A = this chain, B = another copy of it.
Amino acid sequence: MTDHLDARIQKSQTAIMKAGMELLSKNREASFSDIARAAGVGRTTLYRLYDTREKLIKAVAIHCLEAFDKTTEHLESEAESALQAFHLMFKAIFPLSAEMEFLMKLGDFNEDDPELTAIYEKQESEIATLVEYAKSEGSLSKKLPTSWVVNLVEGLLYTSWLTKNAESIDHDTLADLAFHTFCNGVAR
């Protein structure tokens, strides 16, 4: 008896995760049959690994949120200033466009599930801490509410996502645009 996950389960899980993320992003009403077919596994396997449709969606959401967490947790130590940390954050998040799209299309997990809410609020508060630090460092305006700046980060990611969908712009360029706008706005 080991706690090592059976290779078959692991394979199924990653395939389901990937297919679920893509299908549910495109169409929130995608059925278990659809997801199973796209993942290349039997419908029964979905029910075996995730009891219900709701639980699968929650599992995918947690997976996405944790991907964000993993990507952003080392930023503060790598950056030399709080401002630069935001720049690194914009750059780091773009490889997670699939995860970002899923979370954006999902909408308010805010109200749905306490566990998801907890993870989400934890990440929000980490950004809030960074904002407060930047304020004390003197690099961010102290007149603006912290919550506004925190949500602005999300809003700029949304802006980037819109722009990326319409035009094919380089990820790094997009991150630079977001960071520049974050700091200076768009006025001349």
Contact = CB atoms under 8 A, between A and B. Distances in A.
Interface in A128-186: 138-142, 144-145, 147-149, 151-152, 154-156, 158-159, 162-163, 165-167, 169, 177, 180-186
Given A183-B187, A186-B183, A163 B147 contact: yes
Given A147-B163, A155-B162, A181-B152, A188 B29 contact: no
A122 to B, nearest CB: 15
Interface SS majority for chain A: helix
Contact of A186 (B152, B154, B167, B188): B152
How many copies make up the complex?
Answer: 2
A186 B107 CA distance: 26
Interface of A: 28-29, 83, 105, 107, 110, 138-142, 144-145, 147-149, 151-152, 154-156, 158-159, 162-163, 165-167, 169, 177, 180-188
